[in-house]
Amino acid sequence: MITRQASCSCGQLHVTCEGEPRSVSLCHCLECQRRTGSAFGIAAFFAREALTVTGDASPFTRGSESGQAVTFHFCPICGSTVYWEPERFADVIALAVGAFADPSFPAPVQSVWESARHDWVTLPPGILRRPEN
């Protein structure tokens, strides 16, 4: 089984992931834009039991359009968000795809919150596209 590692910029917070992600999703929502400092975020969803977290993480919880909270975990030293827990899917943890620093990571299968997509962002053919979540 493939093992991958996601980590923050300074490397003290890292997550080891066993197996392939259940899903990979690209999100254009304004909250993801603020969190990443970029035009969109990309999340890889893994079963909780597939992950091992090492290092210190600080939590930040916010509401979401669905009405359920999401708790982000970021490195208290360098500030990178490495993973988060969506309350509405209690058995999964989302990892920031950029934290893997791996250009061969599986591509997103869906693109959500297209209503907030920057006009210049184009997507691969065949990807599932949704105006909201």
Which spans of this chain sit near Zn ion (rule: CB under 5 A)?
Answer: 8, 10, 27, 29, 32, 75, 77-78
The minimum distance between CB 38 and Zn ion, in angstroms, equals 11
* 44 in Cβ contact with 97 (< 8 Å): yes
The minimum distance between CB 103 and Zn ion, in angstroms, equals 21
Distance CA 107, CA 17 (A): 16
The minimum distance between CB 16 and Zn ion, in angstroms, equals 16
Identify the three-state secondary structure at position 125.
Answer: coil
Distance CA 19, CA 113 (A): 27
Question: Torsion-angle region of residue 77: left (phi > 0), alpha (psi -120 to 50) or beta?
Answer: alpha
The minimum distance between CB 31 and Zn ion, in angstroms, equals 5
**10 vs 121 by CB, closer to Zn ion:** 10
**1 vs 61 by CB, closer to Zn ion:** 61
Distance CA 17, CA 50 (A): 6
**78 vs 107 by CB, closer to Zn ion:** 78
**77 vs 123 by CB, closer to Zn ion:** 77
